[in-house]
Structure 1
């Protein structure tokens, strides 16, 4: 089924792996949160130890603020790593209150994702002039939605599956539509019957809903500090921008709208503006396969 979308390191030096979520500079989370599973690869999450201090430090990766969480004066950065990032060393720019700026390295390891070949309607690959113009308009709007960052920290960094069903396509798959390579799969597909309920993976605020050329019926949720989730191909949308939803609350229904080969839910997680593997946020380590 198809769809398109748009470490611990010592303070002084050597990198090692692990970061988690996105951007809370002005209001870092001061309480203990259960972190997602760390996987410091492209499309993964790294957890970086920032050391101890009375006040929460600020952290940035490539100019983007990164989520900082802590308890008892010990702080960690939770970092989303972009799918198009290459393996090697990366640096967090860290500022402690009243202190100098420091650069904290961490390692990003290599990863190889599988390839998937799919057959869809020709008009969903070779776009008409009208459809291309629509896609360009939507892409600009969706880029602005994806850039949302609210200061409030997430209530949770663990999520529940947003639909019951088999995982039919995993994050990172290299997609080939009708023989033409396209961007890697930026989410998790869950196979479920048309009309099956789709629920919020975590508590949040609705920041966008609509019907898009590739994504079909879509809902975006903001969970705070740069942690967002997206739900696509919906046959029904039950929420509107501005609504506050609880974890597990119904937000829509499974469908096959947009570019899809059959009913399913495409679910994406974005952290500091990087699409990352949703399976890292699930307690059961990825959902039913």
Structure 2
């Protein structure tokens, strides 16, 4: 059936690069909120890959190219696909992969009522901020990252896992799209991977926030900060401190909310970290 539609599939689970190969980052986990590593085979030039109309990070060399695809938390289970163009004049082909089911736990939190039932002025502010951050999240730059293994940006206990279904004051909201790390206010936050600062702001829900661009649509965000010791355009090396943990925005206490984005999709940061 899929072959009849022109999808590139091999026996078993095709183009999916299975986990278990030596130290591949991010780890492959083809579930909602996870990452698919799709083998594209050899090509003289780097193929251009899209998930829908969104560009996808492609790494490798002429012998073997791999698409690193972020899978949305809202993705349905079953077959998904990307389109691949090997050269500007070449016809696009489709590469399919399978998204497996994953059940995320539920978390109930009590926060300030004004951060759940928004007043008109707060709602208007949130809408403006969301439009701005959509622009930030569309960043797709070069050079591409040389490696994708990250370091945890701040030491501490991971106090809330990625993908939790959040219920604030009894009202269901979007799933948790990052990793929460418990740390005291003022604790320095270090860049988990070399990157460039592309946004610094104070947002209604996220509080003090910094976005880093690591290249090729790989972005990371840091929220609820007490201090931002950087400005847009700063270039950071892995391990450079650039902000400090806080308790700003919609929070129950001081911690770092760390998010990782691929092709405009928030994915589990744990997949980029050593076990």
TM-score of the superposition, structure 1-length normalised?
0.87
2:14 and 2:176 mapped to 1: Cα distance? 27
1:110 maps onto 2:101 in alignment: yes
2:17 and 2:203 mapped to 1: Cα distance? 32
CA deviation string 1:132-169 (max 9, x = no partner): 11111111111111111113201321110011100000
Residue matched to 1:37: 27
Moved more, 33-42 or 125-134: 33-42
The structure 1 segments of at least 4 consecutive aligned residues displaced by more than 3 Å after TM superposition are 10-20
Query: Gapped runs of 5+ residues in structure 1?
Result: 1-9, 21-32, 285-289
Q: CA RMSD in A?
A: 1.8
Query: Gapped runs of 5+ residues in structure 2?
Result: 1-6
Q: 2:111 aligns with which of 91, 108, 120?
A: 120
* Pairing 1:1-289 to 2, within 5 Å after superposition: 11-13=8-10, 15-16=13-14, 18=16, 34-97=24-87, 99-284=90-275
| Residue 11 (structure 1) shift | 4.5
1:271 and 1:217 mapped to 2: Cα distance? 22
1:115 and 1:41 mapped to 2: Cα distance? 17
1:127 and 1:18 mapped to 2: Cα distance? 43
2:92 and 2:146 mapped to 1: Cα distance? 29
1:12 and 1:81 mapped to 2: Cα distance? 19
1:94 and 1:60 mapped to 2: Cα distance? 7
Q: Which has the higher contact order (CA 8 A, sep 6+)?
A: 1
CA contact (8 A) 1:37 1:280 kept: yes
CA deviation string 1:156-186 (max 9, x = no partner): 2111001110000010000000000000000
In the superposition, relative to structure 1, how do residues 19 and 272 fare at CA in structure 2: closer, same or farther (>3 Å)? farther
1:52 and 1:11 mapped to 2: Cα distance? 14
| Residue 103 (structure 1) shift | 1.1
